[in-house]
């Protein structure tokens, strides 16, 4: 799901380093870093470079661990998912899956991409889509970043739960920080086919060739070349049954769902699961059969595995009818009390504490010479708006674009929707913030306000 979404081309980009400075120098968006400087995160220093684009605002979400907070809906969904896996899979009375929910969100590009066979030129690596600390280090963009290291440490069945970071649009269902549950379940031949010694998980050619000469291909849509069709199909059936069991445990037996073919660099074949919610199909997870190269690189040469990754926010919003993703971050007792000390399986429907009005202000500007609408880095713009406005920014949407017939200058107009979740904003205070955003974008992007 999520790695694929990066393909949606947004308005791209001023190639500006505007995000380097704020890390070091609070909120001055005007100049690029001129010398090598260090970014300090949780006591560790990182050398910044031309990749650095993490903002103070984003750094402030580190360690919030909403998924572990007792009264948070994300934590309730996490516990229900963990319970489902504990109950459904046991070995001699012990849970089969181990749970990792406290792994550091700061990872290397090797963990987040290379180990998962994500090509060097894959769009999901773009600076426009990730929060980089420097060219080798970033805030993880998905929990799958930990898959290889946990496999290498000898684990076969595990859940990885935590916060992930992506640069994205701003609206009621997108926030630059969200939470995922990722999992791997792997099996050897005797575990997958305990009663069929005649069946194998690998094609005979896989054994005949020297492992370093064998190349696994994904040319056949039904399977990876190294695995037999029986093993692949049985894993697919188990994977799909386990995940359908999970959404039924969460939403009830009557939940309507469908499988959609998908593509991820680290699984083949791959699928997405969608559930029918409020008259629309909602994508809740991505999954597939783990590419054998990943297992081999982690030292496993006798297993087949499935993996999946799901978004906790989407499930929690649908389960409890929470209308805005920012509410997950609310410290308001009116919100948290609705989830306080509740039975995990109780049916809870979120009741709005009260609805405060929105303020909508437009911002229009001319791009500098030589810049076009298509080269405008809208994610840089969204980050800047959020850096200055904070969480009262509900939405930023492109309203209008225009090319001057004579000067050929390009102009953009965005609507910025302001709303506080806990009180009414006055137009005067919104105007003040809006003005600050105008000033900041003039210095950061060299635009001219219209």
What residues from 288 to 307 belong to the interface with ligand PHE (CB under 6 A)?
288, 307
Instruction: Show Cβ contacts of residue 333 under 8 Å, excluding neighbours closer than 6 positions.
Output: none
Residue 207 CB, nearest approach to ligand PHE (Å): 27
Q: Is 14 in the site for ligand PHE (CB under 6 A)?
A: no
Residue 326 CB, nearest approach to ligand PHE (Å): 21
Burial of 204 by CB count in 10 Å (0-12 exposed, 13-18 middle, 19+ buried)? exposed
Binding window for ligand PHE (CB under 6 A); candidates: 88-96, 244-252, 280-288, 369-377:
280-288
Q: Which one of 72, 112, 137, 267 is in contact with ligand PHE (CB under 6 A)?
A: 267
Size of the site for ligand PHE (CB under 6 A): 15
Residue 300 CB, nearest approach to ligand PHE (Å): 17
Query: Of all residues in this chain, which one has the CB nearest to ligand PHE in the complex?
Result: 309
Q: Which is nearer to ligand PHE, 2 or 384 (CB)?
A: 2
Beta-carbon neighbour count of residue 213 at 10 Å? 7
Residue 115 Cα distances to 109, 119, 147, 152, 318, angstroms: 9, 10, 9, 11, 33
Binding window for ligand PHE (CB under 6 A); candidates: 1-9, 199-207, 343-351, 428-436:
1-9
| Alpha helices (H) in 50-146, listed in sequence order | 56-59, 73-88, 109-112
Residue 190 Cα distances to 24, 81, 239, 299, angstroms: 55, 27, 18, 18
For 4-74, list the strands marked E by DSSP: 38-41, 44-47
Determine the Cα–Cα distance for residues 57 and 29; give it in Å rounded to an integer: 13
Q: Is 371 in the site for ligand PHE (CB under 6 A)?
A: no
What residues from 93 to 152 belong to the interface with ligand PHE (CB under 6 A)?
142, 144
Q: Which one of 3, 19, 396, 421 is in contact with ligand PHE (CB under 6 A)?
A: 3
Q: Is 181 in the site for ligand PHE (CB under 6 A)?
A: no
What are the backbone angles phi and psi of residue 269, rounded to the nearest 5°?
Answer: -70, 170
Binding window for ligand PHE (CB under 6 A); candidates: 7-15, 32-40, 218-226, 264-272:
264-272
CB-based contact 165:130 (threshold 8 Å): yes
Q: Which is nearer to ligand PHE, 271 or 418 (CB)?
A: 271
Binding window for ligand PHE (CB under 6 A); candidates: 47-55, 199-207, 282-290, 378-386:
282-290
Q: Is 192 helix (H, G, I), strand (E, B) or coil?
A: helix
* Total count of residues recorded for the chain: 450
What are the backbone angles phi and psi of residue 257, rounded to the nearest 5°?
Answer: -140, 165
Q: Is 55 in the site for ligand PHE (CB under 6 A)?
A: no
Q: Is 2 in the site for ligand PHE (CB under 6 A)?
A: yes
Q: Kindly list the residues in this chain that would bind ligand PHE in the complex (CB under 6 A).
A: 1-3, 142, 144, 182, 264, 267, 270, 286-288, 307-309
């Amino acid at each position: 799901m999520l790695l694929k979404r990066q393909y949606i081309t947004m308005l791209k980009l001023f190639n500006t380093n505007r995000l380097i400075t704020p890390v070091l120098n609070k909120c001055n968006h005007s100049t690029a870093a001129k010398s090598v400087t260090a970014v300090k995160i949780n006591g560790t220093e990182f050398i910044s470079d031309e990749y650095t684009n993490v903002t103070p605002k984003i750094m402030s979400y580190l360690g919030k661990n909403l998924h572990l907070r007792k009264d948070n809906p994300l934590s309730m969904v996490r516990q229900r998912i963990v319970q489902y896996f504990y109950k459904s899979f046991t070995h001699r009375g012990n849970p089969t899956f181990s749970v990792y929910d406290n792994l550091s969100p700061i990872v290397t590009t090797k963990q987040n991409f290379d180990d998962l066979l994500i090509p060097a030129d894959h769009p999901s690596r773009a600076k426009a889509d990730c929060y980089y600390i420097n060219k080798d280090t970033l805030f993880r963009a998905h929990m799958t970043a930990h898959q290889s290291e946990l496999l290498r440490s000898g684990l076969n069945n595990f859940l990885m739960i935590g916060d992930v970071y992506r640069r994205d649009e701003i609206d009621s269902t997108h926030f630059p920080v969200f939470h995922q549950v990722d999992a791997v379940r792997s099996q050897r031949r005797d575990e997958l086919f305990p009663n069929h010694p005649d069946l194998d998980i690998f094609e005979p050619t896989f054994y005949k060739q020297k492992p370093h000469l064998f190349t696994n291909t994904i040319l056949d849509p039904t399977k990876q070349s190294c695995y037999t069709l029986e093993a692949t199909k049985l894993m697919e059936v188990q994977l799909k049954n386990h995940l359908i069991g999970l959404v039924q445990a969460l939403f009830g037996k009557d939940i309507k769902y469908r499988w959609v073919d998908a593509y991820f660099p680290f699984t083949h074949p791959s699928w997405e699961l969608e559930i029918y919610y409020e008259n629309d199909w909602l994508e809740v997870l991505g999954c597939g059969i783990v590419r054998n190269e990943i297992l081999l690189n982690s030292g496993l040469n006798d297993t087949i595995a499935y993996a999946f990754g799901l978004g906790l926010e989407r499930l929690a919003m649908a389960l409890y009818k929470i209308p805005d993703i920012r509410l997950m971050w609310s410290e308001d007792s009116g919100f948290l009390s609705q989830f306080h000390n509740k039975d995990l399986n109780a049916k809870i429907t979120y009741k709005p504490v009260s609805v405060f009005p929105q303020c909508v202000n437009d911002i229009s500007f001319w791009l500098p010479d030589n810049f076009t609408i298509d080269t405008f880095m809208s994610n840089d713009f969204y980050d800047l708006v959020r850096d200055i406005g904070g969480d009262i920014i509900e939405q930023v949407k492109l309203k209008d674009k225009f090319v001057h017939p004579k000067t050929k200058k390009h102009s953009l107009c965005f609507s910025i929707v302001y709303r506080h979740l806990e009180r009414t904003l006055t137009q005067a205070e919104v105007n003040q913030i809006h003005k600050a955003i105008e000033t900041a974008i003039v210095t950061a992007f060299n635009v001219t306000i219209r």
